[in-house]
Chains A and B, each alone.
Chain A
Amino acid sequence: MCPEWSTFFDEPPAADAPDAQPSDQTPLSVSALVASVKHALNEAFPRRVTVVGELSNFKHHSSGHMYFRLKDTGAAMDAAMFRARAAKLKFAPADGLEVVVEGRVDVYETRGQLQLYVERMTPRGAGALELAFRQLCDKLRAEGLFDPAAKKPIPRVPRAVGVITSPTGAALRDIRRTLQGRWPAARVYLLGTLVQGESAAEDVARALSLLDASASGLGIETIILSRGGGSLEDLWAFNEEVLARAIFACATPVISGVGHETDVTIADMVADCRAATPTAAAARAVPDAAELHQHLAALGTGLHRAVAERVRSGRKALDGVLRSAVFRDPASRLRAQMQRADELSHRMASALRGRLATAARRLSPASNRLAGLHPARLCERARASLDRTARRMAWALGDRSKRAGDRLTNLAIRMRTGHPAHRVVLARQRLAGLARQLEAMSYRSVLARGFSVTRKRRAILQSAGDVQAGDLLHTELADGTVDSRVTGAADGPGSKPPSSAGEEGHGPPTGPEEKKTVRKRRRRPGGPTLFDV
């Protein structure tokens, strides 16, 4: 124990009276006291102390300094972590977090306060890095940077591959060997970077964006991001936010192969494909030529075999055909066929004949009927019929007309006979007839006795006074007639001197009192006949 401390442990003066006089020490000033305490503290705790406690009242000041309290169930003390150190913290301290801090204990003189000036802080239980890792994981996952749907497919056969890694590390050797071994045909571009340390994350991020921008120009279709194994701190650059965002923003597919199999970094989670190691990453980037060679060989064999098999089966089929009866004795089939052909031909002929006969039989009456219906015949018949009809018509017409004519004639006759004049004529005729009959009967006997009838102009001459000289007379005797001319006439039983030549035509009436109507007789050619009146 420091000597100076002992004075604090001296028994207080026996006098317990509250107003007893203080010891005869000289009173210290506050500053002196605080300074003494500080001094003693520094002496007691010359080096840094490591303290475990819970954070509370945590404030991250805008100046960058952190102020908080560190406490446990029994006690608490104020602490501060200044900007320079605070900025290096990977994780975000928060109230309630149990931490292990390393720092110097001191007295803040102005306030007389015990202070812990923290130089390092790590979370208790999990490390700072683990906590930072978890915190960033949650944050980026929530933003969708790990989303499987956002991952781009890796080209199967890239023309060129870009590699971002340390130019001196083992990772590059592994990658190169793997690429050469599997697919030497691909061009390989290397853009070397730091792969650990404070600025590594930014360096890699920048390299990635540069390579992405130049990728299409160089024909780079896939980028391999890689580094070899190490501790969590070594690999920390690949857990940093800036790199994670750069990978997510990269348009070219990114394969990450960081550390060993068990190392999973945030870069791995954001990348389009995660490989366990740099070798695995390179293997994922290109196909295996050896494998493809074998596959090709197999295909070649398969091809050859398949075609050979086709040819063989074709040949077998051909042989089969050649061995068949057709080829051995082609004629046999032919003969059979010929015989069959003959048979069929014969049957066909007779069948045909039969059919023809039947058909002819059916045809004959029909044919006759048809002939009967031949247009010429029809015309003929029609014409005949027409003629007949015409004749009948003509006959009928003629008949009718004849009949009509007859009727007409009859009618005419009847009409004439009905005519009054005609009836008179008829009556006269009848009368004349009767008269003549009578006459004939009456005077013929007289004539026979030698009497004669003399007529002058048909009128029977009864009187000599009816004639004059020159008159023509016609005398009818029993056996004929005599025509004479009067030379003289005389009344009485004597005769009168003959008058002048007779006149034909009119004869003057003899006297006014003896008017006799003398019928005049007109001379007709042929002479008068019995019918003249």
Chain B
Amino acid sequence: MAEKKMTFEQAMDNLEQIVAGIEGGETSLEESIEKYAEGTELIKQCRAILDAAEKKIRLLARDEAGGLKVAGELEDDSADAPPA
């Protein structure tokens, strides 16, 4: 999850660039088609990140050493479903 998170913004940026490049007409026809494939793949990855869901809240509490530890979870008492 961490790797995808790190590239989400980069993926979006790349995607923007690809579309802008093809629309602008700077790319050759072959390049356009290649970039299209790349762009489609990026969209797929971004969608996957967006759809990933962490359902719970992790509770923290003080530990013996004076730091923090995860001490449980808060159940989801929210009746609202996340928007699609």
Contacts and interface: CB of A to CB of B under 8 A. Distances in A.
Interface of A: 156-157, 159, 162-163, 167, 173, 176-177, 180-181, 184-192, 210-211, 213-214, 219, 289-290, 292-293, 295-296, 299-300, 302-304, 306-307, 310-311, 314
A180 B74 CA distance: 13
Given A156-B9, A184-B52, A190-B58, A292 B46 contact: yes
What are the nearest 9 A-B pairs in CB distance?
A: A184-B53, A306-B22, A307-B36, A185-B52, A191-B60, A289-B50, A306-B23, A303-B39, A214-B68
Interface size class for chain B? 35 or more
Main SS class of interface, A: helix
A159 B76 CA distance: 20
Given A186-B54, A187-B58, A307-B22, A180 B33 contact: no
16 contacts: A159-B5, A162-B60, A176-B74, A177-B80, A180-B82, A185-B1, A186-B54, A189-B57, A190-B58, A191-B61, A210-B67, A214-B67, A214-B68, A296-B46, A300-B43, A310-B22
A190 B57 contact: yes
Contacts of B60: 162, 189-191, 211, 214
B16 A290 contact: no
A303 B36 contact: yes
A185 B5 contact: yes
A293 B47 contact: yes
Contacts of A176: 57, 74, 76, 78
A302 B23 contact: yes
A188 to B, nearest CB: 5
A302 B18 CA distance: 10
A177 B50 contact: no
Contact of A219 (B2, B8, B47, B53): B2
Contacts of A188: 54, 56-58
A489 B59 CA distance: 202
Contacts of B50: 185, 289, 292-293, 296
Which of A176, A191, A310: most chain B Cβ within 10 A?
A: A310
Contacts of B43: 296, 299-300, 303
Interface string B20-58: 001101010100110110011001001101101111111
Contacts of B39: 299-300, 303
A111 to B, nearest CB: 53
Contacts of B77: 173
A181 B61 CA distance: 26
Given A159-B1, A190-B59, A310-B29, 4 more contacts: A184-B82, A213-B68, A306-B19, A311-B29
Contacts of A192: 59
Given A210-B67, A307-B32, A181 B58 contact: no
A283 to B, nearest CB: 13
A299 B16 contact: yes
